[in-house]
Structure 1
Amino acid sequence: MGPFPVHPHHGSPFTGTRGQRTIRLLILLSLTLLVGSSAIGQAQPSRKSQVRTLSMTGFYDAPQPLPAGKPGDLIRSESFDDYDLPLSVNVVRILYHSRSASGQDVATSGVVLLPAEKKAPSGGWPVIAWAHGITGVARSCAPSLRRNLGHGPFLSMYVNLGYAVVATDYTGLGTNFRNAFLDAPSNATDVIASIPAARQAVPQIGSRWIVMGAAEGGLAAIAVAQKENEIRDPGYLGAIVISDIASAKGMLAPPSSSIKLTSLAYATKTVYPDFQPSDVLTEKGMTLYHAIEQTCSDLGSISEPSVTESVKSSWHENKLLLQYLDRSTPAVSLTYGPVLMISSDYAPSTAEAISNMCRLGDQVQWLHYPDVDPGRVIGDSVRDQIAWIEARFAGRKAARTCAGTP
């Protein structure tokens, strides 16, 4: 028997008025995930547009030179209402100080979502910090430049349940700095710094918060929990990871894509200036490298050659590239606060990560679901996400999966 029991999870039904509201939202969210439309927004008037992206504006341009500031210091903010979100959701864009993967003072963008026309509770709105998955490395790949913010219906659901959502873009997505693709430590810094910046922009935001990361954003969420073991922010309450979690190296293991591997070369150059992308990329790979600097692959404007055409066979032997990947290895240091891991049933890398977390003494709970599609797992687990988040803000003790522990 392993270090923890493995049981599929079945959520218990909610009761009462709030529970009925939750069930309705769950149904709407399920429709959203299945048909790809903003079903939650269809329950009420919504800001609609056929255009998926928004134009880059001067809001995203950091002052030159950038005035010195601590991580979390707000540079500027603005209300913005052109997102394809329910009218029950107000949005404020933020630009704030953070630190790059190499430790430099940088500007990072993001958004704050909060309930519209509602009075904040005593102590302010409870906060969910959102860590998104990979979107690219170009400035235009910022989720805040997508009309639905990438996961707009999902995030709006939480706003309608009475939470503020703070969603960073990560440095270099939106702002004019280089992005560190898939770099958990720097992405986590951006998440943590977004919280005080959001409070400066929106005073109704409370001091207590949790972090939630989906897909590759799960690595950032774990890294937040690891960093909080040193920071010990009294307002931080825990982390949710919705991903078949693996190291960055594992996520890029074959079969991978030439865009992911080329983006990895770009990010390695961001952190290690001496790295030469041509050491691992072919001529076609370098053409792709320059293309991803300008646009996002998911918009269909990049022609992607095969991995063998783009990447040299010895790419996985490059020391700087491997050093970069090792920065994002999960479960290597103690996390602070409870962690809820959500994955599919078939997730051997997640099982390994949780086994390591148990050995470290982390307070981790693992819930897994039969569907292997990550998009469906995030929907199937909503009931359990909500219950876990409510318990953290209520001060109740979190469950622990590791065998032999309470």
Structure 2
Amino acid sequence: MRTLRQAAAALLAAGAMITATASPGQADAVPCDQWCQTAWEQQRANALPRTGFYDPPTPLRWAPAGTLIRKEAATGYAVPATRTLYHSRDSGGRDVAASAVVLVPQGTPPSGGWPVVVDAHGASGIGRDCAPSLMRDLYHGDQMRRFLDKGYAVVAPDYAGLGAAGQHALGDKTAVANDVIGALRSARRSVPALSYRWVLWGHSQGGAAALSVAERQLDRPEPGYLGAVVTSPAADLTQIVTHAATQPGLGGFVPLIAAGAKAADDRVRLDRVLTPQALAALEVTRTGCLGVVAAVYRELTGPDLVQPGYLAEPGFARFLTRNTTGVRPVAGPVLLLQGDADSVVTRAMTDQVAATLCRTGSRVDYRTYPGLEHDTYPGVVTGIDDGAMPDILAWTAERFGGEQAATTCS
């Protein structure tokens, strides 16, 4: 899923490892080779302490989605930031707490406030310590900095269950759309210098989240929305799981999505989805983030990873189908970007998303890029967000400038 700003390196066995967050000693909980040990070391080096700020009140008294619970000036990042804890909703409508960070450019805001880019991040893991706001590099803060340098504020939700207490239902499109909108609302309450106008940017898991938000905008519009940048979206979860289960090095995505399905629907039978060997390693996801999970599962594929008929497990099948995006009309415009060399979300998958969205009447500008991978692995390959960033920034500027967006739909 998104991911994985530095996380898919291990998944792709490209020779680079990733950054995330973790708990000391967890490496001993499951068999952990040198890849795994290195992933733990890098995770810990990038980790910020999870303080009581992330613990919501108990009980959590109901409040409208986006209501601010608390905020604090955050340190430890390369840029000044404000952390927020706010009320969100899970896919069942239950009140849950979620965390986010808000970054603003240096200097005096323009009249009307800083224009806002909301960053829907890719898969980082499912444990509390896997929140991007608990990573020194904010998971992909270098890309956020490109927006800051252009005069945009960035609102970056962690998603419920990452950072704040609870379970992260990775892949649940309704829950993550709620988190994105709640983060935006709470950001405006915590940083008054933000403009009401906003553009959404999402990659991989976050790309699917962005499409979910764009679907929602047709029914329950959030004011000020100008469009979405969607890169390599993990839109069709059945395709994603099927692909990951058969590709060496990508197996870690399968238990993460399966665990996300279980978090959303307790009726999901994980023992009918994952093999005993894969189930035994699932404990690592409690504290190990994507890099660690990728390393632990990198040798598992096919029948060593998943049970025969795993896609027919009723709860899992329902979750995958219900949370597929890119099949309904979306509020536009949408800039949809895909790297030809992407080995996590393949071009064929995103070609299908583009064609389907065009058939729904959505306004989509679909662009593909030779040689770009899912993410950047320094010294190895360049990912879609980094490689296409000039186009992303130009398109974003056009939206705030009031220009009409182009479409590749005939």
Normalised by the length of structure 2, the TM-score is: 0.82
Question: Number of residues paired by the alignment?
Answer: 354
Cα drift, residue 300 of structure 1: 7.0
Residue of 276, 283, 289 corresponding to 1:290? 283
Q: For 1:6-405, what aligned pairs fall within 5 Å after superposition?
A: 51-83=45-77, 85=78, 89-116=79-106, 118-243=107-232, 246-256=235-245, 257-299=250-292, 303-304=296-297, 306-307=300-301, 308-345=303-340, 347-375=347-375, 376=382, 377-403=384-410
Post-superposition CA distance 1:89-136 (Å, at most 9, x none): 3200010111112321100011001113x1111111000000111111
Q: Using the aligned pairs only, state the percent identity.
A: 35
Matching residue's letter, 2:405: A
Post-superposition CA distance 1:241-288 (Å, at most 9, x none): 011654112122234344322222211211212223223223222222
Matching residue's letter, 1:129: V
Indicate the SS of the match to 1:352: helix
Cα drift, residue 301 of structure 1: 9.6
Cα drift, residue 71 of structure 1: 1.0
Structure 1's unaligned 5+ residue stretches are 1-34, 38-48
Indicate the SS of the match to 2:111: coil
Indicate the SS of the match to 1:253: helix
Indicate the SS of the match to 2:159: coil
Cα drift, residue 36 of structure 1: 10
Matching residue's letter, 1:63: P
Moved over 6 A (4+): none
Matching residue's letter, 1:276: R
Structure 1 CA distance for aligned equivalents of residues 219 and 75 of structure 2: 37
Query: Relative CO higher for 1 or 2, CA cutoff 8 Å, sep ≥ 6?
Result: 2
Distance of aligned partners of 1:283 and 1:371 in 2 relative to their CA distance in 1, 3 Å threshold: same
Alpha-carbon contact 1:185-1:327 (below 8 Å) kept:
no
Structure 2 CA distance for aligned equivalents of residues 359 and 280 of structure 1: 34
Structure 2 CA distance for aligned equivalents of residues 255 and 106 of structure 1: 30
Matching residue's letter, 1:64: T
The more displaced of 229-238 and 190-199 is 229-238
Normalised by the length of structure 1, the TM-score is: 0.82
Cα drift, residue 69 of structure 1: 1.0
CA-based RMSD of the aligned residues comes to 2.2
Structure 2's unaligned 5+ residue stretches are 1-15, 19-42, 342-346, 376-381
Alpha-carbon contact 2:268-2:313 (below 8 Å) kept:
no
For the pair shown, the structure with the greater C-alpha radius of gyration is 1
Cα drift, residue 297 of structure 1: 4.0
Post-superposition CA distance 1:35-54 (Å, at most 9, x none): 999xxxxxxxxxxx992111
Indicate the SS of the match to 2:254: helix
Alpha-carbon contact 1:296-1:302 (below 8 Å) kept:
no
Alpha-carbon contact 1:291-1:302 (below 8 Å) kept:
no
Structure 2 CA distance for aligned equivalents of residues 246 and 72 of structure 1: 25
Matching residue's letter, 1:101: S
Structure 2 CA distance for aligned equivalents of residues 161 and 327 of structure 1: 37
Cα drift, residue 214 of structure 1: 1.2
Distance of aligned partners of 1:136 and 1:362 in 2 relative to their CA distance in 1, 3 Å threshold: same
Alpha-carbon contact 1:243-1:342 (below 8 Å) kept:
yes
Structure 1 CA distance for aligned equivalents of residues 97 and 225 of structure 2: 23
